[in-house]
A = this chain, B = another copy of it.
């Protein structure tokens, strides 16, 4: 009884908090002044490609006004089968959408136990290790929890937490990675993210864009990882190893880039059974707002699963949100996400987001997007295709329409509980106003006002009566 009362109170409080403030304690720090009018938006594609041994990183230009003004950076990573992304961390949190493939990832969270044990067949000859236990020629390894990645997952990474990822599938693992540089957690540069690698000698993803204008006091190629700058002898002593091994940490000779190829595949890790993930999901639905400990906190949720749609109109499409209510860790990252699917003829009602910018990435098909600013000017009216990206600023009104191919997108939002207000349909702002008010403000008869208010009975996603939108822009 005591418990449930408490829950009740905490929940009420949470609701108030989330519904009205939007982003308590957010304090996003972005470019200011006349530089950020958001008066002209364009569909953006990556401007830089960094090829590594085991995969590819495509980088959107961090200096673009849309990123500078929304305070985020985006890269698309393609990890080939058997590719291993070197461990790294950033000074701002990351929100990742797995566009394709499957893999595993390991996080290094300070203070969490090495709760996964594995046994290797590898023999070490005579030598006995100090800590690990040798059993009949093989050794036992212990490490922190391994997490699964699969198509459709939204994966949340707190800032400063190092992690690696490995593609153990048969097709490329493609991930859209958003880094929130304006996040309060980032006390370093707000202009571009810094990625700290724990191994290898990777090129900085955002480095060379940063210094277009000639300033090149920092090399175009990465000079190394966090170990590279230390005195080799000190490093060797710190680890209790030879200087030769310390040099390997510093990776002077490593030119494989940030994604390396594991020749024979990564064997030792025994991923839990397939049903493990289902259990994770089920556990999610019993979620009480407070995970048991941070070490076992759920960091991902699948956003592609049609059965979990929040809004569904059979003839128009579906919309799924992942926010602090279904993935609690997001309240600490101050980010959330939505996945939208519009069928041919589908329209997403005119709406605005009260408390967040939305970074819209085209996942499949093509959609026409119209965006309008506070002065009623159209700042974007164009198609967004698969692989393109556009920023919808906070409070700007937007309409999305599928082309005859249909349209799928993922939206990253700069608030842990981004909230939209629709302007047409049930639950819309128009429905909230008395007919008499509508009649007066739009100078129409009460009858017309009544029709304007009640014609659309669907919520958010509508089926267009006319033909699907056809691109006539370049005709």
Contact = CB atoms under 8 A, between A and B. Distances in A.
Contacts of A393: 187-188
Oligomeric state, in number of copies? 3
Contacts of A28: 184, 187
Interface string A169-211: 0000000000000001111111100111111110010010010
A5 interface: yes
B27 A419 contact: no
Chain A: number of interface residues, binned into ranges = 35 or more
Interface stretch (A42-50, A275-283, A305-313, A348-356): A348-356
A59 to B, nearest CB: 16
B226 A352 contact: yes
Contact of A223 (B127, B376, B423): B376
Interface string A413-432: 01000011111110101111
A411 interface: no
Nearest to A250: B376
Contacts of A470: none
Contact of A84 (B112, B267, B440): B440
B423 A245 contact: no
A237 B466 contact: yes
A91 B394 contact: yes
A267 B446 CA distance: 12
Nearest to A218: B375
Given A223-B377, A266-B436, A433-B143, A234 B200 contact: no
A266 B185 contact: no
A75 interface: no
Question: Which A-B residue pairs are the 4 nearest by beta carbons?
Answer: A27-B27, A224-B376, A228-B376, A25-B25
17 contacts: A6-B6, A20-B297, A39-B217, A84-B441, A87-B433, A106-B433, A111-B427, A129-B451, A130-B455, A139-B450, A143-B433, A159-B355, A188-B395, A238-B350, A238-B462, A245-B451, A266-B434
